[in-house]
Structure 1
Amino acid sequence: MPVSHEIPHPAAAEDEAGLVRRAAGGDADAVRRIIKAHNQRLYRLVRAVLRSNADAEDVLQEAYLRAFASLDGFHGEASLSTWLSRIALNAALMRLRAQKRLKRAAVSAGPLDAEIIPFPLASSTDDPERVMAQRQLLRLVEEATDALPEAFRLVFVARVIEGLSVEETAVLLDLPPATVKTRLHRARKLIRARLEERIGPVLVDAFPFAGARCDRLTEAVVEKLGLER
Protein backbone atom coordinates (compact mmCIF):
# COMPACT_ATOMS: atom_id res chain seq x y z
CA MET A 1 0.00 0.00 0.00
CA PRO A 2 1.54 3.39 -0.97
CA VAL A 3 2.58 5.71 1.79
CA SER A 4 0.61 8.92 2.11
CA HIS A 5 2.61 12.12 2.30
CA GLU A 6 -0.28 14.53 2.80
CA ILE A 7 -0.19 17.23 5.45
CA PRO A 8 -0.91 15.46 8.75
CA HIS A 9 -4.15 15.96 10.64
CA PRO A 10 -3.73 18.41 13.61
CA ALA A 11 -4.09 15.51 16.04
CA ALA A 12 -1.25 13.69 14.29
CA ALA A 13 0.90 16.83 14.46
CA GLU A 14 0.17 17.13 18.17
CA ASP A 15 1.10 13.49 18.66
CA GLU A 16 4.40 14.09 16.84
CA ALA A 17 5.10 17.16 18.96
CA GLY A 18 4.38 15.12 22.08
CA LEU A 19 6.73 12.37 20.95
CA VAL A 20 9.46 14.93 20.33
CA ARG A 21 9.02 16.44 23.79
CA ARG A 22 9.12 13.02 25.43
CA ALA A 23 12.15 11.91 23.44
CA ALA A 24 13.98 15.16 24.26
CA GLY A 25 13.25 14.41 27.91
CA GLY A 26 14.86 10.99 27.68
CA ASP A 27 11.77 8.83 27.21
CA ALA A 28 13.10 5.57 25.69
CA ASP A 29 9.69 4.53 24.35
CA ALA A 30 9.32 7.82 22.46
CA VAL A 31 12.82 7.42 21.01
CA ARG A 32 11.96 3.91 19.82
CA ARG A 33 8.70 5.05 18.23
CA ILE A 34 10.43 7.86 16.36
CA ILE A 35 13.18 5.57 15.09
CA LYS A 36 10.84 2.82 13.94
CA ALA A 37 8.52 5.31 12.25
CA HIS A 38 11.33 6.75 10.13
CA ASN A 39 13.82 3.88 9.73
CA GLN A 40 12.67 2.77 6.30
CA ARG A 41 12.87 6.17 4.63
CA LEU A 42 16.13 7.21 6.26
CA TYR A 43 17.84 3.89 5.54
CA ARG A 44 16.89 4.06 1.88
CA LEU A 45 18.12 7.63 1.51
CA VAL A 46 21.42 6.90 3.24
CA ARG A 47 21.95 3.73 1.25
CA ALA A 48 21.24 5.60 -1.98
CA VAL A 49 24.29 7.73 -1.20
CA LEU A 50 26.64 5.05 0.13
CA ARG A 51 25.52 1.96 -1.83
CA SER A 52 26.54 -0.28 1.05
CA ASN A 53 24.17 -1.93 3.52
CA ALA A 54 26.76 -1.98 6.31
CA ASP A 55 27.85 1.65 5.80
CA ALA A 56 24.24 2.79 5.56
CA GLU A 57 23.30 1.15 8.87
CA ASP A 58 26.39 2.60 10.56
CA VAL A 59 25.75 6.13 9.27
CA LEU A 60 22.06 5.94 10.10
CA GLN A 61 22.91 5.13 13.70
CA GLU A 62 25.26 8.13 13.80
CA ALA A 63 22.55 10.33 12.32
CA TYR A 64 20.03 9.27 14.97
CA LEU A 65 22.49 9.98 17.75
CA ARG A 66 23.17 13.42 16.28
CA ALA A 67 19.46 14.11 15.89
CA PHE A 68 18.47 13.07 19.41
CA ALA A 69 21.36 15.06 20.86
CA SER A 70 19.96 18.21 19.21
CA LEU A 71 16.25 17.44 19.49
CA ASP A 72 15.72 20.58 21.57
CA GLY A 73 16.56 22.50 18.41
CA PHE A 74 13.63 21.00 16.49
CA HIS A 75 10.86 23.60 16.52
CA GLY A 76 8.53 22.18 13.90
CA GLU A 77 9.33 24.54 11.02
CA ALA A 78 9.51 21.39 8.88
CA SER A 79 8.07 17.97 9.63
CA LEU A 80 10.08 15.68 11.86
CA SER A 81 10.50 13.34 8.90
CA THR A 82 12.05 16.08 6.75
CA TRP A 83 14.28 17.25 9.62
CA LEU A 84 15.56 13.72 10.26
CA SER A 85 15.99 13.07 6.53
CA ARG A 86 18.22 16.11 6.15
CA ILE A 87 20.38 15.07 9.09
CA ALA A 88 20.70 11.53 7.74
CA LEU A 89 21.43 12.71 4.20
CA ASN A 90 24.10 15.13 5.41
CA ALA A 91 25.69 12.37 7.49
CA ALA A 92 25.76 10.08 4.46
CA LEU A 93 27.30 12.75 2.24
CA MET A 94 29.95 13.44 4.88
CA ARG A 95 30.81 9.73 5.01
CA LEU A 96 30.95 9.56 1.22
CA ARG A 97 33.33 12.53 1.04
CA ALA A 98 35.54 10.93 3.70
CA GLN A 99 35.58 7.65 1.74
CA LYS A 100 36.57 9.47 -1.44
CA ARG A 101 39.44 11.21 0.38
CA LEU A 102 40.67 7.85 1.67
CA LYS A 103 40.51 6.35 -1.82
CA ARG A 104 42.53 9.23 -3.26
CA ALA A 105 45.10 8.82 -0.49
CA ALA A 106 45.38 5.07 -1.00
CA VAL A 107 46.56 5.30 -4.60
CA SER A 108 48.37 1.99 -4.35
CA ALA A 109 45.27 0.05 -3.32
CA GLY A 110 43.36 -2.00 -5.89
CA PRO A 111 39.81 -1.13 -6.96
CA LEU A 112 37.10 -1.92 -4.48
CA ASP A 113 34.54 -4.46 -5.62
CA ALA A 114 30.90 -3.50 -5.38
CA GLU A 115 29.12 -5.40 -2.66
CA ILE A 116 25.59 -6.69 -2.94
CA ILE A 117 24.37 -7.94 0.43
CA PRO A 118 21.18 -10.01 0.67
CA PHE A 119 18.43 -8.56 2.80
CA PRO A 120 15.41 -10.07 4.52
CA LEU A 121 12.22 -10.74 2.61
CA ALA A 122 8.72 -10.88 4.02
CA SER A 123 7.78 -13.82 1.80
CA SER A 124 6.96 -17.26 3.11
CA THR A 125 9.73 -19.83 3.00
CA ASP A 126 7.21 -22.54 2.03
CA ASP A 127 8.16 -22.06 -1.63
CA PRO A 128 12.00 -22.03 -1.86
CA GLU A 129 11.99 -21.50 -5.63
CA ARG A 130 9.76 -18.46 -5.33
CA VAL A 131 11.90 -17.02 -2.55
CA MET A 132 15.03 -17.52 -4.65
CA ALA A 133 13.42 -15.86 -7.67
CA GLN A 134 12.38 -12.89 -5.56
CA ARG A 135 15.87 -12.55 -4.13
CA GLN A 136 17.34 -12.59 -7.63
CA LEU A 137 14.83 -10.00 -8.80
CA LEU A 138 15.50 -7.68 -5.89
CA ARG A 139 19.24 -8.12 -6.39
CA LEU A 140 18.87 -6.96 -9.99
CA VAL A 141 16.89 -3.91 -8.85
CA GLU A 142 19.55 -3.06 -6.26
CA GLU A 143 22.29 -3.41 -8.86
CA ALA A 144 20.44 -1.25 -11.37
CA THR A 145 19.76 1.42 -8.76
CA ASP A 146 23.32 1.37 -7.46
CA ALA A 147 24.61 1.81 -11.02
CA LEU A 148 22.80 5.15 -11.43
CA PRO A 149 24.85 8.36 -11.20
CA GLU A 150 24.53 9.75 -7.68
CA ALA A 151 22.37 12.75 -8.66
CA PHE A 152 19.86 10.49 -10.40
CA ARG A 153 20.05 7.77 -7.74
CA LEU A 154 19.02 10.08 -4.91
CA VAL A 155 16.02 11.39 -6.81
CA PHE A 156 14.99 7.88 -7.90
CA VAL A 157 15.15 6.49 -4.37
CA ALA A 158 13.25 9.44 -2.91
CA ARG A 159 10.53 9.52 -5.57
CA VAL A 160 10.05 5.91 -6.69
CA ILE A 161 11.25 3.69 -3.86
CA GLU A 162 10.33 5.92 -0.92
CA GLY A 163 7.33 7.56 -2.61
CA LEU A 164 8.01 11.21 -1.79
CA SER A 165 6.26 13.84 -3.87
CA VAL A 166 8.14 16.09 -6.29
CA GLU A 167 7.87 18.95 -3.81
CA GLU A 168 9.09 16.86 -0.87
CA THR A 169 12.04 15.57 -2.90
CA ALA A 170 12.91 19.09 -4.03
CA VAL A 171 12.96 20.33 -0.44
CA LEU A 172 14.94 17.34 0.79
CA LEU A 173 17.62 17.56 -1.90
CA ASP A 174 17.55 21.36 -2.26
CA LEU A 175 16.64 21.18 -5.95
CA PRO A 176 14.10 22.98 -8.15
CA PRO A 177 11.03 20.79 -8.78
CA ALA A 178 11.76 20.86 -12.52
CA THR A 179 15.20 19.36 -11.88
CA VAL A 180 13.64 16.60 -9.79
CA LYS A 181 11.31 15.71 -12.67
CA THR A 182 14.13 15.73 -15.23
CA ARG A 183 16.45 13.58 -13.12
CA LEU A 184 13.68 11.12 -12.33
CA HIS A 185 12.90 10.76 -16.03
CA ARG A 186 16.58 10.11 -16.82
CA ALA A 187 16.92 7.66 -13.91
CA ARG A 188 13.88 5.67 -15.02
CA LYS A 189 15.21 5.40 -18.55
CA LEU A 190 18.59 4.15 -17.32
CA ILE A 191 17.07 1.58 -14.95
CA ARG A 192 14.52 0.41 -17.51
CA ALA A 193 17.24 -0.15 -20.09
CA ARG A 194 19.31 -2.15 -17.59
CA LEU A 195 16.44 -4.30 -16.34
CA GLU A 196 14.51 -4.95 -19.52
CA GLU A 197 17.51 -6.67 -21.04
CA ARG A 198 16.98 -9.52 -18.59
CA ILE A 199 13.61 -9.43 -16.88
CA GLY A 200 11.39 -6.81 -18.48
CA PRO A 201 9.47 -4.15 -16.54
CA VAL A 202 9.48 -4.69 -12.80
CA LEU A 203 7.94 -3.10 -9.76
CA VAL A 204 9.33 -4.12 -6.39
CA ASP A 205 9.74 -2.84 -2.88
CA ALA A 206 13.52 -2.71 -2.69
CA PHE A 207 15.95 -2.14 0.18
CA PRO A 208 13.71 -3.02 3.16
CA PHE A 209 14.84 -2.12 6.62
CA ALA A 210 12.51 -3.75 9.09
CA GLY A 211 12.16 -6.62 11.50
CA ALA A 212 15.28 -7.69 13.38
CA ARG A 213 17.55 -5.16 11.66
CA CYS A 214 15.20 -2.29 12.53
CA ASP A 215 14.92 -3.51 16.13
CA ARG A 216 18.70 -3.94 16.44
CA LEU A 217 19.45 -0.39 15.32
CA THR A 218 16.66 1.01 17.51
CA GLU A 219 18.04 -0.64 20.65
CA ALA A 220 21.62 0.36 19.77
CA VAL A 221 20.59 4.02 19.57
CA VAL A 222 18.58 3.82 22.81
CA GLU A 223 21.56 2.21 24.56
CA LYS A 224 24.04 4.80 23.29
CA LEU A 225 21.71 7.55 24.44
CA GLY A 226 21.98 6.03 27.94
CA LEU A 227 18.25 5.36 28.21
CA GLU A 228 16.71 2.46 30.13
CA ARG A 229 15.43 -0.51 28.18
Structure 2
Amino acid sequence: MPLDMPRTASAETSDNDLVFQIIAGNTPAFEILVRRYNPRLFRVARSILKQDADAEDALQEAYIHAFLHLAAFRAEALFSTWLTRIVINESLGRIRKNRQWNNVIDLHENISPTDIAEGATMRVTHHSEPEHQVLQTEIRHLIEQKLDTLPPLLRLVFILRAIEEIPSTEVAALLEVPEATVRTRFFRARQLMQEALSREIEAAYGDVFAFDGERCDKIVAAVMARLH
Protein backbone atom coordinates (compact mmCIF):
# COMPACT_ATOMS: atom_id res chain seq x y z
CA MET A 1 0.00 0.00 0.00
CA PRO A 2 1.47 3.41 -0.92
CA LEU A 3 2.44 5.53 2.08
CA ASP A 4 0.32 8.44 0.88
CA MET A 5 -2.89 6.39 0.83
CA PRO A 6 -4.97 6.41 4.01
CA ARG A 7 -5.71 3.05 5.58
CA THR A 8 -8.97 1.94 7.15
CA ALA A 9 -9.48 3.60 10.53
CA SER A 10 -11.39 2.10 13.44
CA ALA A 11 -11.88 2.61 17.16
CA GLU A 12 -8.96 0.21 17.72
CA THR A 13 -6.53 2.22 15.58
CA SER A 14 -3.78 3.88 17.62
CA ASP A 15 -3.57 7.64 18.01
CA ASN A 16 -0.39 7.91 15.97
CA ASP A 17 -1.80 5.83 13.13
CA LEU A 18 -4.93 7.95 13.07
CA VAL A 19 -2.85 11.12 12.93
CA PHE A 20 -0.86 9.67 10.03
CA GLN A 21 -4.05 8.79 8.15
CA ILE A 22 -5.60 12.21 8.73
CA ILE A 23 -2.49 13.98 7.48
CA ALA A 24 -2.54 11.67 4.46
CA GLY A 25 -6.05 12.80 3.63
CA ASN A 26 -8.39 10.58 5.64
CA THR A 27 -10.24 13.47 7.28
CA PRO A 28 -13.17 11.31 8.57
CA ALA A 29 -10.67 9.49 10.82
CA PHE A 30 -10.51 12.64 12.94
CA GLU A 31 -13.97 11.79 14.27
CA ILE A 32 -12.49 8.76 16.01
CA LEU A 33 -10.02 10.95 17.88
CA VAL A 34 -12.75 13.42 18.82
CA ARG A 35 -14.98 10.68 20.23
CA ARG A 36 -12.03 9.02 21.95
CA TYR A 37 -10.99 12.15 23.86
CA ASN A 38 -14.27 14.03 24.26
CA PRO A 39 -14.93 12.92 27.87
CA ARG A 40 -11.43 13.73 29.11
CA LEU A 41 -11.06 17.01 27.27
CA PHE A 42 -14.50 18.31 28.23
CA ARG A 43 -13.65 17.70 31.88
CA VAL A 44 -10.35 19.51 31.48
CA ALA A 45 -11.98 22.53 29.82
CA ARG A 46 -14.84 22.48 32.33
CA SER A 47 -12.40 22.41 35.25
CA ILE A 48 -10.90 25.66 33.99
CA LEU A 49 -13.94 27.52 32.66
CA LYS A 50 -16.54 26.28 35.21
CA GLN A 51 -19.39 26.56 32.68
CA ASP A 52 -20.58 23.72 30.45
CA ALA A 53 -21.32 25.96 27.46
CA ASP A 54 -17.94 27.71 27.66
CA ALA A 55 -16.18 24.36 27.95
CA GLU A 56 -17.99 23.03 24.89
CA ASP A 57 -17.03 26.12 22.86
CA ALA A 58 -13.40 25.85 23.94
CA LEU A 59 -13.37 22.16 23.11
CA GLN A 60 -14.62 22.76 19.59
CA GLU A 61 -12.05 25.46 18.93
CA ALA A 62 -9.29 23.30 20.35
CA TYR A 63 -10.22 20.42 18.04
CA ILE A 64 -10.16 22.72 15.02
CA HIS A 65 -6.78 24.07 16.07
CA ALA A 66 -5.45 20.55 16.57
CA PHE A 67 -6.73 19.41 13.18
CA LEU A 68 -5.13 22.35 11.39
CA HIS A 69 -1.81 21.74 13.14
CA LEU A 70 -1.60 17.95 13.14
CA ALA A 71 1.54 18.14 11.03
CA ALA A 72 3.23 19.88 13.97
CA PHE A 73 2.63 16.91 16.26
CA ARG A 74 5.81 15.02 17.09
CA ALA A 75 5.33 11.37 17.97
CA GLU A 76 8.03 11.59 20.65
CA ALA A 77 5.28 12.81 23.02
CA LEU A 78 1.90 11.23 23.69
CA PHE A 79 -0.79 12.52 21.36
CA SER A 80 -3.17 12.72 24.32
CA THR A 81 -0.76 15.06 26.09
CA TRP A 82 -0.37 17.24 23.01
CA LEU A 83 -4.13 17.45 22.49
CA THR A 84 -4.91 18.10 26.14
CA ARG A 85 -2.39 20.91 26.21
CA ILE A 86 -4.19 22.57 23.29
CA VAL A 87 -7.47 22.40 25.22
CA ILE A 88 -5.83 23.91 28.29
CA ASN A 89 -4.31 26.75 26.27
CA GLU A 90 -7.63 27.45 24.54
CA SER A 91 -9.45 27.50 27.88
CA LEU A 92 -6.88 29.77 29.51
CA GLY A 93 -6.98 32.06 26.49
CA ARG A 94 -10.71 32.51 26.92
CA ILE A 95 -10.26 33.42 30.56
CA ARG A 96 -7.63 36.01 29.70
CA LYS A 97 -9.81 37.43 26.95
CA ASN A 98 -12.97 37.62 29.04
CA ARG A 99 -11.18 38.51 32.29
CA GLN A 100 -13.34 36.06 34.18
CA TRP A 101 -10.80 35.86 36.99
CA ASN A 102 -8.71 38.62 38.50
CA ASN A 103 -5.74 36.29 38.52
CA VAL A 104 -5.28 34.09 35.48
CA ILE A 105 -4.21 30.52 36.23
CA ASP A 106 -0.45 30.18 36.26
CA LEU A 107 0.38 26.55 35.63
CA HIS A 108 3.89 27.20 36.94
CA GLU A 109 2.78 28.71 40.25
CA ASN A 110 5.12 27.56 42.98
CA ILE A 111 3.68 25.38 45.70
CA SER A 112 5.91 24.21 48.52
CA PRO A 113 7.28 20.90 47.20
CA THR A 114 6.46 18.73 50.21
CA ASP A 115 7.05 15.07 49.56
CA ILE A 116 3.53 13.77 50.19
CA ALA A 117 2.58 10.22 49.31
CA GLU A 118 -0.43 9.85 47.06
CA GLY A 119 -3.43 7.90 48.26
CA ALA A 120 -5.79 5.87 46.19
CA THR A 121 -7.80 7.69 43.54
CA MET A 122 -11.53 8.05 43.96
CA ARG A 123 -13.41 5.18 42.39
CA VAL A 124 -17.13 4.62 42.14
CA THR A 125 -18.83 1.23 41.98
CA HIS A 126 -21.47 1.09 39.28
CA HIS A 127 -24.83 -0.56 39.91
CA SER A 128 -27.65 -1.27 37.51
CA GLU A 129 -30.54 -0.91 39.98
CA PRO A 130 -32.58 2.30 39.49
CA GLU A 131 -32.19 3.39 43.13
CA HIS A 132 -28.42 3.06 42.87
CA GLN A 133 -28.42 5.03 39.64
CA VAL A 134 -30.36 7.84 41.31
CA LEU A 135 -27.94 7.79 44.23
CA GLN A 136 -24.92 7.86 41.91
CA THR A 137 -26.41 10.84 40.06
CA GLU A 138 -26.92 12.73 43.32
CA ILE A 139 -23.38 11.92 44.44
CA ARG A 140 -21.99 13.00 41.08
CA HIS A 141 -23.80 16.33 41.29
CA LEU A 142 -22.48 16.87 44.81
CA ILE A 143 -18.91 16.10 43.71
CA GLU A 144 -19.26 18.48 40.75
CA GLN A 145 -20.48 21.24 43.06
CA LYS A 146 -17.56 20.75 45.44
CA LEU A 147 -15.07 20.57 42.56
CA ASP A 148 -16.18 24.02 41.45
CA THR A 149 -15.16 25.39 44.85
CA LEU A 150 -11.55 24.20 44.53
CA PRO A 151 -8.84 26.68 43.52
CA PRO A 152 -8.30 26.47 39.72
CA LEU A 153 -4.88 24.81 39.89
CA LEU A 154 -6.05 22.15 42.32
CA ARG A 155 -9.26 21.54 40.40
CA LEU A 156 -7.39 20.91 37.15
CA VAL A 157 -4.94 18.48 38.75
CA PHE A 158 -7.77 16.67 40.53
CA ILE A 159 -9.63 16.20 37.25
CA LEU A 160 -6.53 14.87 35.50
CA ARG A 161 -5.42 12.56 38.31
CA ALA A 162 -8.56 11.38 40.11
CA ILE A 163 -11.17 11.51 37.36
CA GLU A 164 -9.09 10.74 34.27
CA GLU A 165 -6.55 8.66 36.22
CA ILE A 166 -3.63 10.10 34.25
CA PRO A 167 -0.28 9.20 35.85
CA SER A 168 1.57 11.94 37.73
CA THR A 169 4.46 11.79 35.28
CA GLU A 170 2.16 12.53 32.34
CA VAL A 171 0.32 15.28 34.21
CA ALA A 172 3.66 16.86 35.09
CA ALA A 173 4.67 16.81 31.42
CA LEU A 174 1.28 18.16 30.41
CA LEU A 175 1.38 21.09 32.83
CA GLU A 176 5.15 21.55 32.51
CA VAL A 177 5.69 21.42 36.26
CA PRO A 178 7.75 19.06 38.48
CA GLU A 179 6.10 15.77 39.36
CA ALA A 180 6.45 16.64 43.06
CA THR A 181 4.27 19.70 42.42
CA VAL A 182 1.60 17.51 40.84
CA ARG A 183 1.65 15.18 43.85
CA THR A 184 1.38 18.09 46.27
CA ARG A 185 -1.51 19.73 44.40
CA PHE A 186 -3.35 16.43 44.07
CA PHE A 187 -2.95 15.66 47.76
CA ARG A 188 -4.27 19.08 48.71
CA ALA A 189 -7.19 18.83 46.26
CA ARG A 190 -8.20 15.43 47.62
CA GLN A 191 -7.93 16.74 51.17
CA LEU A 192 -10.20 19.71 50.40
CA MET A 193 -12.70 17.49 48.58
CA GLN A 194 -12.83 15.02 51.46
CA GLU A 195 -13.35 17.83 53.97
CA ALA A 196 -16.13 19.39 51.88
CA LEU A 197 -17.92 16.07 51.33
CA SER A 198 -17.53 15.14 55.00
CA ARG A 199 -19.27 18.35 56.01
CA GLU A 200 -22.17 17.51 53.70
CA ILE A 201 -22.45 14.02 55.18
CA GLU A 202 -22.34 15.29 58.76
CA ALA A 203 -25.03 17.87 57.97
CA ALA A 204 -27.26 15.04 56.75
CA TYR A 205 -26.92 12.92 59.91
CA GLY A 206 -30.04 14.47 61.39
CA ASP A 207 -32.10 13.25 58.42
CA VAL A 208 -31.03 9.60 58.71
CA PHE A 209 -34.10 7.31 58.93
CA ALA A 210 -36.29 10.40 58.93
CA PHE A 211 -39.86 9.64 59.98
CA ASP A 212 -42.17 12.58 59.58
CA GLY A 213 -44.82 13.97 57.30
CA GLU A 214 -47.31 11.43 55.94
CA ARG A 215 -45.50 8.49 57.51
CA CYS A 216 -45.68 10.08 60.95
CA ASP A 217 -49.33 11.02 60.45
CA LYS A 218 -50.18 7.47 59.44
CA ILE A 219 -48.78 5.97 62.64
CA VAL A 220 -50.37 8.67 64.81
CA ALA A 221 -53.75 8.00 63.22
CA ALA A 222 -53.42 4.23 63.60
CA VAL A 223 -52.38 4.46 67.26
CA MET A 224 -55.08 6.93 68.20
CA ALA A 225 -57.69 4.87 66.38
CA ARG A 226 -56.79 1.83 68.47
CA LEU A 227 -57.02 3.85 71.68
CA HIS A 228 -60.60 4.81 71.07
Q: Out of 146, 149, 159, which is 1:147 matched to?
A: 149
Runs of 5+ unmatched residues, structure 2: 1-12, 103-125, 203-228
Amino acid at match of 1:75: R
The one-letter amino acid paired with 1:30 is A
Question: Aligned partner of 1:145: which letter?
Answer: L
Please report the RMSD computed on the Cα atoms of aligned residues, expressed in angstroms. Answer: 2.2
Which amino acid in 2 is paired with 1:180?
Answer: V
Offset, 1:123: 7.3
How many residues are aligned here? Answer: 167
Say whether residues 1:85 and 2:84 are aligned partners: yes
Structure 1 range deviating more: 132-141 or 172-181: 132-141
1: distance between equivalents of 2:196 and 2:20? 47
Q: What aligned pairs does 1:1-229 form with structure 2 within 5 A after superposition?
A: 15-100=14-99, 127=130, 129-199=131-201
- Give the distance between the partners of 2:157 and 2:20, measured in 1 at CA: 32
Instruction: Give the Å deviation of 1:38.
Output: 1.4
Residue 206 of structure 2 corresponds to none
AA at the equivalent of 2:155:
R
- What is the CA deviation profile of residues 51-99 of structure 1, one whole-angstrom value per residue up to 9, with x for unaligned ones? 1111111100100000001111112121111110111110011111222
Q: Distance in 1 between matches of 2:201 and 2:37?
A: 32
Structure 1 residue identity aligned to 2:201:
I
Equivalent position amino acid for 1:16 in 2: D
User: Aligned to 1:199, what secondary structure does the other structure show?
Assistant: helix
Give the equivalent residue in structure 2 for 1:222: none
Instruction: Please list every run of 5 or more consecutive structure 1 residues that lacks an aligned counterpart in the other structure.
Output: 1-13, 105-121, 201-229
- TM norm structure 2: 0.67
Structure 1 segments, 4+ long, off by >6 Å, are: none
Q: How many angstroms apart in 2 are the aligned matches of 1:142 and 1:99?
A: 23
Find the aligned partners of 2:181 and 2:74 in 1 and give their Cα distance: 29
- Matched residue, 1:227: none
Q: Secondary structure at the match of 1:197?
A: helix
Q: What CA distance in whole angstroms lies between the structure 1 residues aligned with 2:25 and 2:45?
A: 26
Instruction: Please tell me the residue identity of whatever aligns with 2:88.
Output: L
Q: Determine what percentage of the aligned residue pairs are the same residue.
A: 40
Using the alignment, how far apart are the partners of 1:165 and 1:18 within structure 2? 23
